Amino acid sequence: MPTPSQLNDGGFAIPLPENEGSGERYIEATPKSNLQTSSVVFCGPGDSIKFQVSVGKGDSIELDVQDPLVYIANGPLHGRFDASLIDLSLPIASTSINAQQSLPYWPNYYDCSAIQRGEYLSWLQGGRRDSDVELGFVFIYFYGLERRVLIDRADYVPIANEVMRLLLVYGKSNSFRRYGTSLLWTTIHLASHAGELPTKLLSNAIRVTKTWTDETLGICLGILHSKSILLPSRLARTIAQRDARSSSSVIVNRHEEEFNKLFKVKYRERFGKGLSLDVSKRAKRVDYYPASGSLLRNLHSDENPSIPPRPDVFGKTAQFKPLIAIWEDSIESLRSFSREKKKSSGEITANVYESLPPELRQGEHPEEEAWLNAWERNVDEDDWPIVPVSELAAIKQIARRDRLTKTQCGQILATADVIGFGVEPDARITGKNYRWDEKVTLFFHDGNVLDDPTGYAAASVLLRLGASIAEADGSIDAEELNFINEHLQGQFNLSEAESKRLDRLQYLLLHSRSGDNTIGKALAKRLSIKHRRLVGEFLVGVAASDEVICKAEQKALRKAYRSLDLDEAELDQLIHRHETTGVNGDSQSDDLQLDLDAVSKIMAETHQVASLLRDAMADEDDDEIADESVSALSSTRSSAKDTAEPRSEVAADARFGSLDTRYHPLLHSILESTEWSSEAMRSLADEHGLMLIGAVEAINEWSTEEFGDWLIEEGETFTIHAQLIQEES
């Protein structure tokens, strides 16, 4: 065996046998360790090895490997030590020689050809980063890392960092990714057990790991518990996905990016910085299956140290139930998005954007620019937008029609919500579908929502009633309407968002004659006298909330009573029943003063008017809901349906086609005349057990679809266009 000769720099030189006429060659190695005192040395961080290969006379190849992380030997061991050992006694040929052959399944440096050894050493010198190198060379190197960690129990941190780097380069190989990830987490486990684990190394390992097994995930979670580190969202998602209790959905894979973002947001909403982990009382054994054939034969022999057990986090399965709930919620939240994106062939349309959970919406809404342009085109002298519904409908590509459907109104309002616009009036609150020529006002809602939609709906109805009263003499009195607005905001205890919305409605009522300011007449038609009296009493209570009803308020109340088709004498009786005296004891004062108990009594008795008003103004007729609303106001209800003799049953009429059959008897009766008074129409509806306005809306919607026009025209009287049906017949 060649004898090493000492070099001046502390290294050594070993002359090697001539190889295929290449002339004398030698290898110069200069590790910090003294190779002369041991036959095998691990060259680790900070070491360097220089290999100089002379090929022919005057030609040579020099290889310089920095931080090699390999075992080398100064004498032949004939492959007995480890498959990764670089035996300096073995010949090496230049990699420029074209004589390549594949490595076996379990490659071994000792069994490599001279050319293969040259290629391996060239790969080491190149930084071990050539992604095109034969994977067997990567495994030869990897075997040495395994031995250093599992047998020598040394260099945990540099080897863990090296394995992570290798996984980034060679992780596309399923085999290497599996073995590499296993060694990485076993190394981290041993480093943690030895007190040598930096937190940064742990977080980097979690980030690099693409595929988890029960063993690697169990090791990771055990370390998090032992170090009192909260569970990161990345691992929370992995745990939820691997849990047998979680649903398997194509949404997770089809929309992986969106799902991961949403899960992360929901996890942080639920757990803040993360879930604190718990463990079972018994520790779990760590099993490691080496890639190296050398270690596979003797890793678990008595002469080698055993791997310490790990904390068993999976032994407490109940702690992961909230993660499963977040998983399921994330899937459900993306179902609508998945459907819309499939319909759009991947294009980000308005529907796709709006179907995304709010947490995932990024960038500008596809229709935002069009909405901003509509705003700018329709600003008034006060620089505030009063926009025709027709323009908003055009943005949504809704064809012209006299009145939009509930679905079409919902489309407009859903887009407004996402862009950040409030629309007043809001058809979802009023229950009334927009007319094509109706005007609305826009404002920025700043993400604030209504705390009490029912309360706001009642306040808006009463403000509209006030506007209708104030407009009775041909123009709206701004001061009078503002007075009503302020009282309503205080009475209903409106939030900032609700007050802002009511202010915008007031502005619209003052500046747009196309708004629906006939609400008093509508209430007169839709409500029984008993319930109209409740509204009247409520208005008195609002006016008297400061215990005084001034002259202006008295005037407004008289207008309200006339609009509600109530006798003004009832108003006088109500006020004087609770009147004390003039303001400040002046009996000659025009202002009326009510005692506080009386005002409180009025407001207590009429507080439920909120739900009554909302139901009364709704577009759609739902008898069960309406009956519940009425019963909430009174323990008994007397109606024409209760007292009148029941009409004979009328069979479904073929002329009425797709119209809901419950409206057939009423329509059959209506067609008996071409004109009906409001009172007569209300009586007909009562006889058939229907809400009049809801029935008229349903019939007109049907006739518009069937004949292109309304069958029932509402004015001072109800005009019936029976010829539409007759012409069709």
3-state helix, strand, coil in the chain (%, to 5): 50, 10, 40
Predicted pLDDT at 634: 31
- Mean of pLDDT values over 298-312: 81
**Structural domain boundaries of the chain?**
1-127, 370-444, 453-614, 643-728
Peptide bond into 425 cis (omega under 30): yes
Predicted pLDDT at 136: 95
Question: What confidence tier does 663 reach under pLDDT thresholds 50, 70, 90?
Answer: confident
Question: What confidence tier does 556 reach under pLDDT thresholds 50, 70, 90?
Answer: confident
Closest CA to 540 of 501, 507, 566: 566
| The token pair that represents 497 in the structure block | 């968002």
Is the pLDDT assigned to residue 604 strictly greater than 60? no
When computed from its CA atoms, the radius of gyration of the chain, rounded to whole angstroms, is 42
Place of tokens 């005349």: 673
Q: Phi-psi bin for 550: left (phi > 0), alpha (psi -120 to 50), beta?
A: beta
Predicted pLDDT at 17: 38
Closest CA to 666 of 706, 624, 695, 701: 695
CB of 86 closer than 8 Å to CB of 71: yes
CB of 313 closer than 8 Å to CB of 281: no
303 versus 456: the higher-pLDDT residue is 456
Among the ranges given (238-247, 589-598, 694-703), the one the predictor scored with the smallest mean pLDDT = 589-598
pLDDT, averaged across the chain: 78
- Mean of pLDDT values over 600-620: 54
Is the pLDDT assigned to residue 623 strictly greater than 80? no
Predicted pLDDT at 434: 92
pLDDT in tens, 164-220: 999 999 999 999 999 999 999 999 999 999 999 999 999 999 999 999 999 999 999
- Mean of pLDDT values over 497-514: 83
CB of 386 closer than 8 Å to CB of 375: no
602 versus 498: the higher-pLDDT residue is 498
Is the pLDDT assigned to residue 493 strictly greater than 60? yes
Burial 693-717, CB ≥16 within 10 A → b, else e: bbbbbbbbbbbbebeeebbbebeee
Question: What confidence tier does 391 reach under pLDDT thresholds 50, 70, 90?
Answer: very high
pLDDT in tens, 438-450: 999 999 877 666 6
pLDDT in tens, 410-446: 999 999 988 888 999 999 888 789 999 999 999 987 7
Predicted pLDDT at 28: 47
Q: From residue 107, how far is each of 73, 84, 162, 394 by CA, in Å?
A: 18, 9, 20, 71
pLDDT in tens, 317-376: 999 999 999 999 999 999 888 888 877 777 778 888 888 888 888 888 888 899 989 998
Among the ranges given (2-11, 661-670, 685-694), the one the predictor scored with the smallest mean pLDDT = 2-11
> pLDDT > 70: what percent of the chain?
75
Answer whether 0.75 is exceeded by the pTM.
Answer: no
75 versus 616: the higher-pLDDT residue is 75
Alpha helix (H) ranges present in 425-550? 427-430, 453-470, 478-491, 496-511, 519-526, 529-543
Is the pLDDT assigned to residue 162 strictly greater than 90? yes
Question: What is d(CA 147, CA 140) in angstroms, rounded to the nearest whole number?
Answer: 11
